[in-house]
Amino acid sequence: MPRQVSKTAWKGCAAVVRRVNWSMMKAIQTAFFDAKPYDREMFEMVNRGYGIELKYFDDHLNADTVPIAAGADAICLFVNDAVPRKVAEALAAQGVRLIALRCAGYNNVDLKAVYQRIHVVHVPAYSPFAVAEHAAALLLTLNRKTHKAYSRTRDGNFSINGLMGFDLHGKTAGVVGMGKIGRVMSGILRGFGMRVLAFDPFPDAAFAQASGCTYTDLPTLYREADIITLHCPLTPDNVQMINAETIAQMKNGVVVINTGRGKLIDTRALIHGLKSCKIGAAGLDVYEEETDYFFEDRSSAVIGDDVLARLMTFPNVLITSHQAFFTREAMANIAQTTLGNIRAFFEQGELPHEICYRCGEAACLRKATGKCF
């Protein structure tokens, strides 16, 4: 009689089969665009546990560079890589099946153009502390002018004329966008003893009660806040939400901080507000036309963007190059989530962090099927 195989033995055989299948699997080919040295270092370290074949390219993805993705199963993109319809069609024709964004934002991808062609995943959260803490650093630097004091003392100038700031304690802060980053920022500002007004399309009464912030509408926030800090995603409804009309509603001398998306602010209107002293200071980690400049070394070139060049002439404007996310913890989380997204799709057919233009609508299938299409 044939010998029966125990359940334990079957489980052992299954494990061996899984290991054999894994060893026989073709490596997932991924074209990694806009690869900076710090990207390569972190992704190579984290990828030891994933085994994905990453091919790094210095170039941004655009209509001219899309051919170098030929043969890739997936592409990995950052905020300044563009996927308009023409690029989306070319990627689909080349057989690319997944766009893995190593960032939270996805406004650089034409989601309608890729729908039913290429799945798109992102990193919904990496470190809300990193971004909120950078926003607080911009605020503190602008207020107490520590960047100017540093330059002065390095030159032997110990005068404090022109360096006067104001107490944050007792002032009113307006936080626009109360996701994870906005909530952390709210806690930081409350820690300074500030009154916090919050705006979000989906107010959370329980959080407001627990944290001590107050949800309100945008006109009230604009009218009452001494400091306004933006932590919302870019959507069709809030493009240039900070504009000439809304700036007119704000307090004289208001401080504006933006670590969200550049296009939340009409930069020309911001410049006018700065010139008229309606806006007392601006701390910007993002800029609406940042693609050609941010993350690149342009120190030996003329700034061809007249709006950016004008913005940089103001002594009460502090610009950083989209670095709010840039901490060791955040970079590790980004690499882990991005590589996990890629492997989950190609090995298990799962897309836990997929996005499409129908997300949030009843027509999106992700809640029912786990995929947007």
Catalytic residue numbers? 261, 290, 322
CA 198, distance to chain mean position in Å, is 20
Q: How many angstroms separate the CA atoms of 153 and 256, rounded?
A: 27
Q: Tokens for 25?
A: 């699997």
| Alpha carbons 283 and 44: distance in angstroms, whole number | 33
Strands (E), the chain: 29-32, 53-56, 74-77, 98-101, 119-121, 172-176, 195-199, 214-215, 227-230, 254-258, 279-284, 317-319
Task: Report how far residue 23's alpha carbon sits from residue 179's, in angstroms, rounded to the nearest whole number.
Answer: 41
Could you tell me if 255 and 283 are in contact, meaning their C-beta atoms sit under 8 angstroms apart? yes
**Residue 135 CA, distance from chain mean position:** 13
* Interatomic CA distance for residues 229 and 324, integer angstroms: 13
CA neighbor of 178 nearest in space, from 264, 260, 284, 279: 260
Query: Cα 40 to the chain's mean position, in Å?
Result: 19
* C-beta of residue 282 within 8 angstroms of C-beta of residue 229: no
CA distance 220 to 216: 7
Quickly tell me which residue has 């990995």 as its tokens: 76
User: Which residue type sits at 256?
Assistant: V
- Which position has the token pair 């980690």? 285
List the strands of the sheet with 119-121, edge to edge.
53-56, 29-32, 74-77, 98-101, 119-121
